[in-house]
Structure 1
Amino acid sequence: MATDMADTDSQAGSTRRRALGEFLRSVRARVTPASVGLPAGMRRRTPGLRREEVAQLCGISVTWYTWLEQGRDIAASPAVWARLATVLQLVRAERQYLFELAECADPEHGREPEAELPADLADCVHSIVAPAYILDRCWNVLARNEPLLQLFEGWPDRDARPNLLRYIFQDPAARDLVVDWEQRARRVVAEFRADAGAHADEPDVRALVDELRQASPVFTHWWTRQTVVEREGGLRQFRHSSGGIAGYRQITFRLATRPDCKLVMLLD
């Protein structure tokens, strides 16, 4: 069984590396020498840049770059992949695809988060009949609809800067509203650690974590446990002031146009 799993992983890795090599060859062929400051008058048998030119512009050896295009099993640093993305003039979707194939975190991803949510995404949230909201990488609430506002009995509108983590760990109303608050709080910390891992060194993420560690012993306790889990769906229960309990299925989507954000819906 273990051997079969290892063979499957090896085959998947080989397929991914071949796809990476094919992608590099394809985008290299479309980059003109003039666009990267090279003389345009030289006669070329094939369009685009030569391998040695890409290697020189990226500060790596020709042999090493050739191995990348051949799909060999070699490792590259995030900085090298970032230089390749720049030299090959990749657009955002292509850059994301490159780093996914390389199984590497983009050092530039999300470094300058957008302050406001595009209007069409906010409109999307308001068109959903179930409670729904959008969170950024710090779990700030960028958009919410009326059903969500009713479910949370006025939050997030009563906060000047609504943030789901601040609500859970600093607002006393959360302990009354969220059924099994202790269990949910533990999982929320592990989900946020997984969510913010690629941005752990960013000032906004560091500031939020520092604030929560100072304000909440519960957050600090679970944060120091280093537990990491994916944000998953499942049953979410809320207890209202009237005494009734409402149950919802949580579904989370990553937004293609804002990969630093996610849409959360609570379906009854």
Structure 2
Amino acid sequence: MIDNAESLTGPKALGLFLRTHRERVTPEMVGLPGSSRRRTSGLRREELAQISGISATWYTWIEQGRDVSISAATLDNLANALRMEPAAREYLFSLAAVKDPQAVHISGAPDVSLKNCVNQFTCPAYLLDSCWNVLAWNAQAEALFSGWLGGDPQPNLLDFMFLHPLARKLVTNWAERAKRVVAEFRAETSHYAHSDAVRETVISLRERSTDFNQWWTQQEVLSREGGERRFNHPAEGEKSYLQQTFFPAGYADCKLVMLVPQE
């Protein structure tokens, strides 16, 4: 049973995120001696607090989800101590509702001209919003995702990956790719932590997909990146692409995804 009251931001979400990452960092990773008598392989709260330069009591309050004020310097120390990658660090700052000086965010709704640009590409291309709804796509994308794009009046990439029967047949190594998709989407929620639409998207998918729910609870955060994307097309067989993702200037809530065929 999924708790529909769960928030993507706030003290409790912050505490859970920190605890999950603390439990993944071993003493050896931060230069502390290990011991076979330890009940857990991760850092203790007291150890993380010491490394981060804060009191154990103060850190415990943070992890317990108490409503305490946290400075950018403290977050920086915690992120460094936990060896967080840039995407995880950005997510940490967002959960704490503290401005990250490195974060840049502009917004704007896509207009018709931006959507029409998608049709100018000769390779499969599509435009996504913050919830990964597919706002526009070209004929090449519709041919690749035949049976989904063009047939769903409100296509959503997450719904396709986890709920559409075509996905597990079309996407090569579906489980590996789908797990990464969850981590990439979690990273992007740092930009839209206060968005009701994004929050409802997560809640809905957790209710409808056990796979999405399992991987969401693992708190993995990964930057969306390009790379090879392979498909088992029912009519054309094995197809390989290099994915490139772009963020149109002035449209921070949108991303343009291109799949460039590989020879």
TM-score range normalised by the length of the shorter chain: 0.5 to 0.7
Q: Match for 1:233 among 226, 230, 239?
A: 226
Partner of 1:102: 101
What is the distance in 1 between the residues matched to 2:119 and 2:125? Answer: 8
Higher relative helix content:
1
Q: Normalising to structure 2: TM-score of the pair?
A: 0.59
Q: Match for 1:267 among 255, 260, 263?
A: 260
Q: Match for 2:165 among 172, 180, 205?
A: 172
Task: Summarize deviations over 1:29-74 as a string: whole Å, max 9, x none.
Answer: xxxxxxxxxxxxxxxxxxxxxxxxxxxxxxxxxxxxxxxxxxxxx9
Letter in structure 1 aligned against 2:130: R
Does residue 136 of the first structure (1) align with residue 129 of the second (2)?
yes
Partner of 2:211: 218
2:228–2:240 contact (8 Å) kept in structure 1: yes
Shift of 1:105: 6.8
Does residue 245 of the first structure (1) align with residue 238 of the second (2)?
yes
Give the structure, 1 or 2, with the largest relative contact order (CA under 8 Å, sep 6 or more).
2
Partner of 1:203: 196
What is the distance in 1 between the residues matched to 2:230 and 2:155? Answer: 21
What is the distance in 2 between the residues matched to 1:122 and 1:160? Answer: 16
Shift of 1:119: 1.3
Shift of 1:135: 0.4
Shift of 1:200: 2.4
Structure 1 pair 243–267 and aligned structure 2 pair: CA distance change class (3 A): closer
What is the distance in 2 between the residues matched to 1:224 and 1:200? Answer: 17
Letter in structure 1 aligned against 2:182: V
Gaps of 5+ in 2: 1-70, 74-97
What is the distance in 1 between the residues matched to 2:128 and 2:217? Answer: 23
What is the distance in 1 between the residues matched to 2:151 and 2:193? Answer: 28
Greater C-alpha Rg: 1
Partner of 1:35: none
Secondary structure of 1:219 counterpart: helix
Secondary structure of 1:246 counterpart: strand
Does residue 121 of the first structure (1) align with residue 120 of the second (2)?
no
Letter in structure 2 aligned against 1:197: S
Task: Summarize deviations over 1:91-117 as a string: whole Å, max 9, x none.
Answer: xxxxxxxx99833576xx65xx74xx3
Partner of 1:185: 178
Task: Summarize deviations over 1:178-204 as a string: whole Å, max 9, x none.
Answer: 000000000000000111212123110
Task: Summarize deviations over 1:184-226 as a string: whole Å, max 9, x none.
Answer: 0000000001112121231101110011000100000110011
Gaps of 5+ in 1: 1-73, 77-98
Secondary structure of 1:232 counterpart: coil
Q: Normalising to structure 1: TM-score of the pair?
A: 0.58
Shift of 1:75: 6.0
Letter in structure 1 aligned against 2:222: V
Shift of 1:158: 1.1
Letter in structure 2 aligned against 1:210: I
Superposed, 1:4-83 pairs within 5 Å as none
Letter in structure 1 aligned against 2:231: F
Letter in structure 2 aligned against 1:228: V
% same residue:
46
Shift of 1:176: 0.6
Q: State how many pairs are aligned.
A: 167
Structure 1 pair 127–201 and aligned structure 2 pair: CA distance change class (3 A): same
Partner of 2:154: 161
Letter in structure 2 aligned against 1:220: N
What is the distance in 2 between the residues matched to 1:243 and 1:135? Answer: 25
